[in-house]
Structure 1
């Protein structure tokens, strides 16, 4: 009875470990994993498993800015079973990352972008034992071309973070409840009077939308947007489009 009481508060309880086939992924990519459930000191009833795609978001409040965890997407495996002490059970899992998963692999001096998968067990009367697996998220070809174009146009990558909220433009809107901001500044004096540019991406299956916030000297911030079809990614064309938009 004492062991069962300890297990009910997480001492000697079953544990979970998610083993990903790869931690290196792109937004919207399908991934596979094995969820390993290991029995604790007593027999326990498992009512299901939950996985969550997580990131850290910046929130602005009256008291200032702070970071908090945000669930981008959640998956539930409604598998019920009893796990005996010392028993190991392996459950295969497959899903697709949300297309708006923030990019973590950005060469910015200040990169505050983190993404991970968190796995938890649903155990009656127990704290949820959980497992966290960090992901390395890479840009798709359209995003990569935009970032390269910014370099070619003489802008310097400064910072990347993820903010809480939604993006809306005339032809698209985000759905994940958070959005990434990638901040650039001119390497030298800008001919367009630009002091800062912030890029946010909303990828879809066959195209990527770009929302661009422009901070010009002596003028209020302005927003412009651009859509890139994935079968028409061309670095020279994107450079030309950005130059026209910035002018």
Structure 2
């Protein structure tokens, strides 16, 4: 009985470890791995195993401050209930697909608030959930890379990157995940139309990427431009000229 009580508060209980075949991924990419479970000192009833894709989102507080909260982008149910014997080891393979709107983490800025991780939980009856966290490294697709390269070419530096809670509504497209990423750029010097800041947000899909561009101009305030770039080499190559026309 004493061991069961200890197990119910996480002492001597089951342990879980998720092993991914790769942690380096693109939004929308398939990934796979296995969940390794090892029983503790006593028999335990596992009511299920779940895998959650997590990020941190920026939330504005009532006093105009900012907080960062954990946010679940997607989740997968890996296993139904089973009984785990003392010291028993199990390996559960899985396959899943990252949502296309998964935030990018690998970005050229020192002020990068974007993080993504997988969290694995054992739903142990009458126990504190055993959990395991695994960081993911999410890279931009070709369209996003083309925008980042063009902004650098035009002398704009990425000042900050973070993930906002909420939805983008650009009229011609919408985001769906409940959070969206903002890449904030500032010019390295004088700009023709007094641009003080540019924010880029992307909503990737399988064959195209939507882009919402917010321009903060010194003389006319904020303005928005939405565009959709098909995932075709010619369209990706034209990103620089389209962005040049917009920025002047």
- TM-score, normalised on structure 1? 0.97
Structure 1's 233 and 135: CA in aligned 2 closer, same or farther, altered over 3 A?
Answer: farther
1:41 corresponding residue in structure 2: 41
Contact 1:115 1:135 in 2 (8 A): yes
Task: Classify the secondary structure of the residue corresponding to 1:110.
Answer: coil
Q: Is it true that 1:145 corresponds to 2:146 in the alignment?
A: yes
1:21 corresponding residue in structure 2: 21
Query: How far apart, CA to CA, are the structure 1 residues paired with 2:221 and 2:31?
Result: 43
In structure 1, the gaps of 5 or more residues are none
Q: How many residues align?
A: 247
2:243 corresponding residue in structure 1: 242
Contact 2:229 2:235 in 1 (8 A): no
Please give the per-residue CA displacement for 1:145-171, whole angstroms capped at 9, x wherever unaligned.
111111112211111111111101122
Q: Is it true that 1:30 corresponds to 2:34 in the alignment?
A: no
Query: How far apart, CA to CA, are the structure 1 residues paired with 2:160 and 2:208?
Result: 25
Query: How far apart, CA to CA, are the structure 2 residues paired with 1:126 and 1:236?
Result: 54
- Note the C-alpha offset of 1:8: 1.1
Please give the per-residue CA displacement for 1:110-155, whole angstroms capped at 9, x wherever unaligned.
1111000000001110110000000000000111011111111221
Structure 1's 237 and 67: CA in aligned 2 closer, same or farther, altered over 3 A?
Answer: same
Contact 1:149 1:235 in 2 (8 A): no
- Note the C-alpha offset of 1:241: 0.8
In structure 2, the gaps of 5 or more residues are none
- Note the C-alpha offset of 1:79: 2.4
1:112 corresponding residue in structure 2: 113
2:174 corresponding residue in structure 1: 173
2:133 corresponding residue in structure 1: 132
Runs of 4+ in 1 over 6 A off after TM superposition: none
Question: Aligned Cα RMSD in Å?
Answer: 1.2
2:217 corresponding residue in structure 1: 216
2:231 corresponding residue in structure 1: 230
Query: How far apart, CA to CA, are the structure 1 residues paired with 2:162 and 2:225?
Result: 20
Query: How far apart, CA to CA, are the structure 2 residues paired with 1:62 and 1:191?
Result: 37
Query: How far apart, CA to CA, are the structure 1 residues paired with 2:99 and 2:233?
Result: 23
Task: Classify the secondary structure of the residue corresponding to 2:238.
Answer: helix
Contact 2:146 2:237 in 1 (8 A): no
Contact 1:207 1:227 in 2 (8 A): yes
Please give the per-residue CA displacement for 1:67-114, whole angstroms capped at 9, x wherever unaligned.
111000011124222111111100001100011111000010211110
1:192 corresponding residue in structure 2: 193
Please give the per-residue CA displacement for 1:158-189, whole angstroms capped at 9, x wherever unaligned.
11111111101122111111111101111110
- TM-score, normalised on structure 2? 0.96
2:9 corresponding residue in structure 1: 9
- Note the C-alpha offset of 1:234: 4.8
Query: How far apart, CA to CA, are the structure 1 residues paired with 2:246 and 2:105?
Result: 27
Structure 1's 233 and 18: CA in aligned 2 closer, same or farther, altered over 3 A?
Answer: farther
Contact 2:19 2:36 in 1 (8 A): yes
1:164 corresponding residue in structure 2: 165
